[in-house]
Amino acid sequence: MSNRLSVQAYLGAAWLFLILIPVQFYFAAAGSFSNLTFSPHMWLGLGLHALTGVLIVIALVGRLPRRALEWGALQFVLIGIQVGLARLQFPGSTISAEPQFVRDLVNAIMVPIHNALGSGSGIIASLHGLNGLAIAAAAVLTVRYGRSLLKSARISTVAKPAAVVIPPSEPEPEPVLAGKE
């Protein structure tokens, strides 16, 4: 993958992620304030998590600077925390596409934590909204970084003038040594 193409792919994935964040907030509000379920919110959340994986793969395969990998990894971790916070409050809530080992893992880890915290689990899980704001901020900064990468890729591909070599018009005269004439 050429550097310019990988930068464009990275920036495109970052923009898609950023555009989908308000949609994710809408699905969360619709699940809270209407008779809709949280299913669209959960499914889009999984899609956003996968999209952060795409950012990481593009950064690695495209050999982008380390900072590009770090932005993708930050978003991946923040969405992982987001899923953990939601599961802390609703450990029994699963998605049909989840493999059985994920359900078993949630039951082994999150259910005991949820039971130990009791009503306090809701207070901790409420950080889900604040973490969503952190994800949105990271998405903006990722797009900003991707745009700077694209700008530097454009600058490096601008044709530079070839070096001009001027051949000598006359051969250099032989030096006259002292004492020889």
Is 39 part of a structural domain of the chain? yes
| Residue found under tokens 């990481």 | 56
Give the domain extent around 101. Answer: 3-157
Is 92 part of a structural domain of the chain? yes
Is 29 part of a structural domain of the chain? yes
Is 78 part of a structural domain of the chain? yes
Is 108 part of a structural domain of the chain? yes
What's residue 1's pLDDT?
58
Residue 176 burial (C-beta neighbours within 10 Å; 0-12, 13-18, 19+): exposed
Is 130 part of a structural domain of the chain? yes
What's residue 173's pLDDT?
64
Is 172 part of a structural domain of the chain? no
56 vs 126: CA distance, rounded Å: 28
| Residue found under tokens 């499914």 | 43
Question: For residue 139, what are the CA distances in angstroms to 64, 65, 171?
Answer: 18, 17, 64
Residue 28 neighbours by CB under 8 Å, 6+ apart: 38, 41, 132
Give the pLDDT means over successive 10-residue stretches in the chain (181 positions). 85 97 94 86 92 96 94 96 87 79 84 84 86 96 94 64 61 66 53
Is 153 part of a structural domain of the chain? yes
Number of domains making up the chain: 1
Terminal C-alpha separation, the chain: 67
What's residue 166's pLDDT?
62
